[in-house]
A and B are shown apart, each in its own frame.
Chain A
Amino acid sequence: MKTLRQKLFGLSVPALSALCAFVIVLMVLLIIGDIVLGGWGTLSWEFLSGVPKEGMTAGGIYPAIFGTFLLVVIMSIVGVPIGTITAIYLSEYASQRSILARVVRFAVNTLAGVPAIVFGLFGLGFFIQFVGIRMDQVLTGGVQLKWGQPNILWASLTMALLTLPVVIVSVEEAIRAVPRELREASLALGATKWETIRKVVLPNSITGILTGAILAVSRGAGEVAPILFTGAAYFLPKLPGSLSDQFMELGYHIYIMSTQSPDVEATRGIQYATTLVLLVLTFTLNFAAVFLRYRIRMKSIR
């Protein structure tokens, strides 16, 4: 029955699609392999705990690791509560057809699609040039430029904005996975809606909130574009001590070292090792998130 053409297609369509899938897997392996091989030699405890030396051609990346850590911590402190509450609104309070809920949902989706560099511009235009300058005028009478310049607070807030959709989507999924019977039991016992949310829904979706936070941190640690001009510094010998200090960051360090360094070839090892550190960091976080999400899904199936 089958014509030759059909047979040919019958073989080639699955083969072609399998090939495409294979290409993706291959590329991922290539990238990981290249970076692990390139960075392994330079990686050492001294590299992780030292500061850059000799015009950034030697030494470690501890300030960058610390800066990244501080960035994501401040970002999470601001972003996770807002994201969680928004998720609570979307899943518990809003009816799916209400205009307000649709507006919020549209805003969240739009926020997720805005290019990272635009967030950077917003951070510069709003946080630094608008809020910061006014803070200086109020606090110091505009004599001294303290908040009206790039610093870690503005960078973190910008990053919190960027990672907000990540938190919202993940927390909402977890809240929806909480069985309806639990809510109904709580309401039937006379608890109010907010009591139900606080004592039943949230404790049961704590893994989801954690997943959201982890995914946000992973995203925040990897993005460089928003902090290019809102706070990241080329080189700082000392760690940021206050919110109005600039900071070094892993991703920014990679960018600087591989494109602006005076001797790009000589620092190849450092570049690779820094990339490896960033990659390990984001992978660990992502795997943790995947694991937690897997547990949530198992729970919601049960």
Chain B
Amino acid sequence: MDEPTTLTETPVALAGPGMENQTSRVSKRSGSTSPSGELWWRKRFRLAEFLVEKLVTAIAFLSFAFIVLIFAFVFREAAPVFSSSREITPVTSKPAEQETYGEEQLGDAQRGALTREREKTPVEQTGEGSATVRNLVDKTWQPVSSQPKYGLLPLVIGSLKVTIVAVLIAAPIAIFSALFTSAFAPKWAKEVLKPTIEILAGFPSVVIGFFALIAMASFFQNAFGFEYRLNAFVGGAALSLAVIPIIYTITEDSLTRVPRVMTEASLALGATRWQTALFVILPAATPGIFAAMLLGIGRAFGETMIVLMATGNAAIVSGNFFEPVRTMSASIGAEMAEVVFGDTHYTVLFLIGSILFLFSFTLNAIVEIFVRQRLMRRFQGQ
């Protein structure tokens, strides 16, 4: 064997059992290792090789570090909400309104001074932690006013409404299209549909948002006579365009992974193609479809630009899907650029971001740990 001179050689003793471990691991993974390869792994400890491997591992580990950093820093900026040393709004919303329109109604200069003081140094207000949390579940989101209110309820409802619309539109279309590709479609149709999905997935969200804002909103208003041009339904419909590729791709993937024997058994028993598709292939791929839906929901919930442009951005609490809504993500996108660093509004926006992050993280973890493993087990078991 020709040894590169730059590499350090060290006695066998250094290699030790750890190296052996590595050898067996390598050989297991690559399936077969040449005998000479086994030899040099056992014999020599190479410093350069060792360092490179550690460096590569360290850099790969960065991805994990980034997740931790995102956790740490998004939560760090949101933390003051819970520390109770800083209150969100001083009292509940009703007395607060009085303050806005005139402190003379309250009648004491002390109150006015308190208000001014609060605006400058909110840290000095202590001890109303419960009021803080209570105000966060309030029904008014009015962060930019002389008497700001940070009720998250309208934003949460807005996000939910848009997500529900988006998933309700996207899921059937995407799942049936995936079924079409894997069960019924002639070859040419597959060759049209798959690149089309890739194109759809490649649309920047701002382009979909723009299309929804200009074309879709007007079309829907003319077609259905909506009172508001931009509303939760339009936003959700636009959002479904971004969700369809995700649900389609994962569903199609899990449909094609359904073992051929199952399909063939079903056909051999006399089932027709649609029966096989609907009652054999589709149920077998349920965990995959479930995963697809979860990831679709995650995407819809966190998507910013589309909802920012197409939902009208009015923070109102209502069950009507045809009224404008303001979602959590859109609030961050629209308001973060104008807030003062470190003030309450900034903190609350970061809190919203933390919620979005936690939500997507949870969905992803469910998909990763629960669904994928189950899907694997189901298919390998059969």
Give chain A's interface residues, CB within 8 Å of chain B: 6, 9-10, 13-14, 16-21, 23-25, 27-28, 30-32, 34-35, 38, 82, 85-86, 88-90, 93-96, 98, 100, 103-104, 106-111, 113-122, 124-126, 129-130, 161, 164, 168, 180, 183-184, 187-188, 190, 192-195, 218, 221-225, 228-229, 251-252, 254-255, 258-259, 268, 271-272, 275, 278-279, 282-283, 286, 290
Are B329 and A115 neighbours in the complex by a CB distance under 8 Å? yes
B46 on interface, CB distance cutoff 8 Å: yes
The complex places the Cα of A130 from the Cα of B341 at a distance, in Å, of 12
Known: A27-B241, A126-B73. A225 touches B333 (CB 8 A): yes
Known: A35-B211, A114-B360, A268-B214. 4 other contacts (CB 8 A): A24-B193, A25-B192, A111-B63, A117-B333
* CB of A157 to closest CB in B, whole Å: 11
Nearest-Cβ distance from residue B342 to partner chain A, whole angstroms: 8
A-B CB contact pairs (8 Å), 8 listed: A31-B241, A120-B336, A164-B63, A190-B40, A192-B4, A193-B49, A271-B214, A272-B214
Q: Which residues of the partner chain B approach A286 to less than 8 Å between Cβ atoms?
A: 198-199, 202
The answer to whether B210 and A24 touch across the interface, beta carbons within 8 angstroms, is: no
Cβ-closest 6 pairs across A and B: A115-B302, A222-B204, A89-B60, A17-B180, A20-B176, A107-B64
Give A126 to B203 CA distance when docked, in angstroms: 29
* Contact call A255/B309, Cβ cutoff below 8 A: yes
Nearest chain-A residue to B208 (Cβ)?
A31
B2 at the binding interface (Cβ < 8 Å)? yes
Judge whether A107 and B66 touch: CB under 8 Å. yes
Given contacts A113-B363, A255-B309, A290-B195, contact A228 B353 (CB under 8 A): no
Given the known A-B contacts A24-B177, A86-B62, are A122 and B69 also in contact in the complex, defined by CB atoms under 8 Å?
yes
A282 interface neighbour in B36, B48, B202, Cβ under 8 Å: B202
Stretch of B27-35, B105-113, B127-135, B139-147 at the chain-chain interface? B27-35
| Other-chain residue from A96, A118, A183 in contact with B357 (beta carbon distance below 8 A) | A118
List the A side residues contacting B273 at CB < 8 Å: 10, 14
Q: Is the CB of A93 within 8 A of B57?
A: yes
Q: Are B304 and A225 in contact (CB under 8 A)?
A: yes
The answer to whether A104 and B60 touch (CB under 8 A), given A180-B30, A225-B305, is yes
A117 touches B48 (CB 8 A): no
Residues of A within 8 A of B363 (CB): 113
Interface pair B207/A278, CB less than 8 Å apart: yes
- Asked if B96 is at the interface (CB within 8 A of a chain A CB), the reply is no
In the complex, per-residue mask of B29-67: 1 if CB is within 8 Å of any chain A CB, else 0: 111111011001000001011001100110111111011
Asked, given contacts A17-B176, A125-B73, A180-B30, whether A117 binds B7 with beta carbons under 8 Å apart, the answer is no
Residue pair A109, B305 in contact (C-beta under 8 Å): no
Specify which chain A residues have a CB less than 8 angstroms from the CB of B208 in the assembled complex. Answer: 31
How far apart are the CA atoms of A258 and B207 in the complex, in Å?
11
The answer to the question of B284 belonging to the interface, with a C-beta cut-off of 8 Å to chain A, is: no
A195 to B333, CA, bound (A): 47
Residues of chain B within 8 A of A23, CB atoms compared: 173
Question: Which B residues touch A183, using CB under 8 A?
Answer: 30
Q: B7 near A223 (CB under 8 angstroms)?
A: no
Least CB separation from A121: chain B residue: B353
Q: Is the CB of A192 within 8 A of B301?
A: no
In the bound complex, what is the Cα–Cα distance between A178 and B131 (angstroms)?
A: 61
Asked if B206 contacts A224 (CB within 8 A), the reply is yes
Asked if A86 and B207 make an inter-chain contact with CB atoms under 8 angstroms apart, the answer reads no
CB-based contact B361/A110 at 8 Å: yes
**Which applies to chain B's interface (DSSP): helix, strand, loop or mixed?**
helix
Contact assessment for B36 and A224 in the assembled complex, using a CB-CB cutoff below 8 Å: no
- Interface status of B200 (Cβ within 8 A of chain A): yes
**B205-245, CB under 8 A of A: which get 1 and which 0?**
11111110111000000000000000000000000010010
- Measured between alpha carbons, how far is A31 from B209 in the docked complex, in Å? 11
Interface size on B, residues (CB 8 A): 107
The CA-CA distance from A194 to B51 in the complex, in Å, is 10
Per-residue interface assignment for chain B, residues 319 to 339, with 1 indicating a CB less than 8 Å from any chain A CB and 0 otherwise = 000000000010011001100
CB distance from B243 to the nearest CB of A (A): 12
A20/B193 in contact, CB under 8 A = no
Interface string of B298-321 (1 = CB under 8 A from A): 110111110011000000000000
Instruction: Check B210–A275 contact: CB distance below 8 A.
Output: yes
Distance A259 CA – B308 CA, assembled complex (angstroms): 9
> Taking the complex as formed, is B189 at the interface, i.e. its CB lies under 8 A from any CB of chain A?
yes
Cβ of B295 under 8 Å from chain A: yes
- A168 engages B63 (CB within 8 Å): yes
**A116 contact set on B, CB distance < 8 A:** 205, 302-305
- Report whether A86 and B298 are in contact in the complex, using a CB–CB cutoff of 8 Å: no
Within 8 Å CB of A164, what residues of B?
A: 63, 66
How far, in Å, is A222 (CB) from chain B's closest CB?
A: 3
- Report A80 CB to chain B, min CB distance, Å: 12
Q: How far is the CA of A221 from the CA of B204 in the complex (A)?
A: 8
- List residues of B (154-199) whose CB comes within 8 Å of A's CBs: 172-174, 176-177, 179-181, 183-185, 189, 192-193, 195-199
B374 in the interface (beta carbon within 8 A): no
Q: Give bound CA distance, A13 to B295, whole Å.
A: 26
- Decide if A194 touches B274 in the complex (CB within 8 Å): no
A168 to B332, CA, bound (A): 29
Query: B residues within 8 A CB of A38?
Result: 214
B contact residues around A115 at 8 Å (CB): 298, 301-304, 329, 356-357, 360
Query: Once the chains bind, are A18 and B29 in contact (CB under 8 Å)?
Result: no
A202 vs chain B, min Cβ distance (A): 12
Interface contact B332-A20, CB-CB below 8 Å? no
B242-285 vs A: 1/0 string, CB under 8 Å? 00100010000000000000000000000011110110000000
Query: With A24-B173, A28-B196, A95-B29 in contact, is A113–B36 under 8 Å at CB?
Result: no
Cβ–Cβ < 8 Å partners of A184 in chain B: 30, 32-34, 37
Tell me whether B123 is interfacial, beta carbon within 8 Å. Answer: no
B25 interface residue (CB < 8 Å to A):
yes
A186 → B minimal CB distance (Å): 10
Instruction: Kindly report which residue of chain B lies nearest to residue A34, judged by CB atoms.
Output: B215
